[in-house]
Amino acid sequence: MQLMSGNEAIARGAWEAGATIGVAYPGTPSTETMESFATYEGVYAEWCTNEKVAVEVGIGASAAGARVLSTMKHVGVNVAADPLFTAAYTGVNGGYVILAADDPGMYSSQNEQDSHFYALSAHIPMLDPADAAEALSFTRDAYGLSEQFDVPFMIRSTVRVSHTKTPVEVQEPIGYEPKEYVKDAPKWVMMPAYAKPRRKVQLDRIAALEAWAEECPYNRVEMKGADIGVICCGAVYQHVVDALPDASVFKLGLTWPLPRKALADFAESVEQVFVVEEGSDYLTSLVSAQGIQLSEFPCTLPRDGELSPGLIKYAFGQAVPEHIDVPNDVPRRPPALCPGCPHRLVFKELSKIRAIVTGDIGCYTLGALPPLAAMDTCVDMGASVSMSHGFELALANREHKPVVAVIGDSTFGHSGLSSLITTVYNKGAGTVCILDNRTTAMTGRQGNPFNGVTLQNRESRELDLVGVVKALGVENVSLVDPHDAEAVREALKTATTTQADELSVIVFKAPCVLLHRQRKPHYFVNADCRSCGVCATLGCPAISKDAETGLASIDPALCIGCGQCAQYCKFSAIEQVADTSTNGGAR
């Protein structure tokens, strides 16, 4: 027995089942799954540039006979959807399991999605573990099932399952022998002549899966009273049994296809039947559509965010334990770019020129928040570059502020490249800032093609970002140190004034402060401070202003000595101490 998170358990289950290849793109809450898988003996694991590529590599490896694991967050499934839907026609050779990790409540995502709908519309069977023990056993079993039904299997988790540790039973790997690859164009070449018969194969498979669903060992009925019956799955099951100890529960482990007959029998066996699900109406609509009369909740069950036992009790009209407010003296800690973050000055200078900034997803999305407040949009990975092209198109014949896209190095590799090619090809204008902090910082510092670090530290090839951008046909490309305020200012000025009618790319290159964690002697505010407040507009967590006097101070425990703030003090009131052993008279 071991204690594992759901993510670690999925990795373990894949390894026990003989998966030897792992291909993924990071994304919370899925990331640790591939990082954990990469540590097992005998496996090859890599970060791909994006989820679509990962699934295509996965289908290739499965076709060649290996058992494969792919992992991604829910929005990653959108990116991978194209190959995913057709993989449900080709089927597999070696078993293929794909983790879709959902984020109800949007702890670290730009939207809430329910990946069940992908299973439903792509006709890919989906298993929904409720804890790490199930995550392990479901994943382990999914490989054999994938080969038996000749289709990839999806595991769906949510933050609670992925990140909660529960005891798991581990086993030794089964000793899987990779399958032979045998050329079979009608199975693998999905052009109409072959895809049409594969569609028939798919329909037969759906019928076989539906029959299997009725007996599926991962669905479980827990009969208590005959008054209330609840249908649920995943982490929500844990909340339901906590909130409604007397209710009978149909716990779905297989959430597509649904066991229609078993659900109808369950509904018959109770007075009232409810579906409790998180941020979605997937189960509700499917269960209702099969003619089961669902009862109305006495009170509202939220349609957004994560559920909790309290919210479920409330929906059933039960007394909810009184919420005790924490004392109001806890200091607020809004998210902020780290002290010394190389992204900070780019946003400071963008806010000064009042550019329209199309943003993207990464640590730098924090540039949207006050005091920097220098971002106008953020939609999905890669959108900064394509949206800036859209802004330029719509504003072309009007007087407008400079349009600047801001994108990170990993996000540029993920999908910014194809956006930039569109702008180059159509002779678009605007400025693209690539914030190359030498890592994929937001999801925990994974490698990417522009830093050449690989998941298992294998030998690799670091792509030259400036060279790549030039090769794409961008003529105005510059490389700038983002810690040098003057250089950042000048580069943005040139791009948005003298080169305003052309496309220009500025690569701001300096490592993320969390990569090497080197601290230089810290800075302090001397007696020349005039309370102008400019240093505080940088949004550095180390800098604060006295509420009464307006005098600035720098917390020596937080300051890492980057010197960004000193460049903005007109009164030379920010100085660096000679060494870190004193606080230099810091306020």
Ligand X SMILES: Cc1ncc(C[n+]2csc(CCOP(=O)(O)OP(=O)(O)O)c2C)c(N)n1
Q: What are phi and psi of 274, to 5 degrees?
A: -125, 150
- For ligand X, the closer CB: 92 or 385: 385
Residues that bind ligand X (rule: CB under 6 A) add up to a total of: 23
Task: Name 176's Cβ contacts closer than 8 Å, sequence gap at least 6.
Answer: 17, 18, 19, 20, 67, 143
The yes or no reply on residue 409 touching ligand X (CB under 6 A) is yes
The yes or no reply on residue 103 touching ligand X (CB under 6 A) is no
- For ligand X, the closer CB: 81 or 133: 81
The yes or no reply on residue 115 touching ligand X (CB under 6 A) is no
- For ligand X, the closer CB: 34 or 435: 435
Q: With contacts defined by CB under 6 A, name the span among 194-202, 223-231, 409-417, 461-469 that binds ligand X.
A: 409-417
Distances (CA, A) of 567 to 267, 385, 448, 551, 575: 69, 30, 31, 17, 10
Find the radius of gyration of the CA atoms of the chain.
27
Which residue number is nearest to ligand X in terms of Cβ? 408
In the complex, what is the shortest distance from the CB of residue 79 to ligand X, in angstroms, rounded to a whole number? Answer: 5
The yes or no reply on residue 443 touching ligand X (CB under 6 A) is yes
- For ligand X, the closer CB: 120 or 361: 361
The yes or no reply on residue 80 touching ligand X (CB under 6 A) is no
Q: With contacts defined by CB under 6 A, name the span among 74-82, 99-107, 391-399, 467-475 that binds ligand X.
A: 74-82
Q: Which of 6, 13, 18, 76 binds ligand X (CB under 6 A)?
A: 76
In the complex, what is the shortest distance from the CB of residue 446 to ligand X, in angstroms, rounded to a whole number? Answer: 8
The yes or no reply on residue 442 touching ligand X (CB under 6 A) is yes
Residue with the two structure tokens 């080169």: 499
Q: With contacts defined by CB under 6 A, name the span among 362-370, 389-397, 422-430, 578-586 that binds ligand X.
A: 362-370
Distances (CA, A) of 16 to 20, 136, 143, 144, 157: 10, 9, 10, 12, 19
State the DSSP H helix or E strand holding residue 420, giving kind and residue range, or none if neither. helix 417-425
Q: What are phi and psi of 406, to 5 degrees?
A: -125, 125
In the complex, what is the shortest distance from the CB of residue 364 to ligand X, in angstroms, rounded to a whole number? Answer: 5
- For ligand X, the closer CB: 57 or 213: 57
503: left (phi over 0), alpha (psi -120 to 50) or beta: beta
The yes or no reply on residue 363 touching ligand X (CB under 6 A) is yes
In the window 224-243, what residues touch ligand X (CB under 6 A)? none
Residues 50-75 as b/e (b if ≥16 CB within 10 A, e otherwise) read bbbbbbbbbbebbbeebbbbbbbbbb
Where would I find the beta strands (DSSP E) of 103-246?
126-127, 153-158, 165-168, 220-222, 228-233
Peptide bond into 259 cis (omega under 30): no
The yes or no reply on residue 75 touching ligand X (CB under 6 A) is yes
Distances (CA, A) of 500 to 2, 300, 419, 431: 60, 53, 19, 8
The yes or no reply on residue 361 touching ligand X (CB under 6 A) is yes
Q: Which of 440, 496, 564, 567 binds ligand X (CB under 6 A)?
A: 440
Residues making contact with ligand X (CB under 6 A): 25-27, 73, 75-76, 79, 361-364, 381, 408-411, 435, 437, 439-443
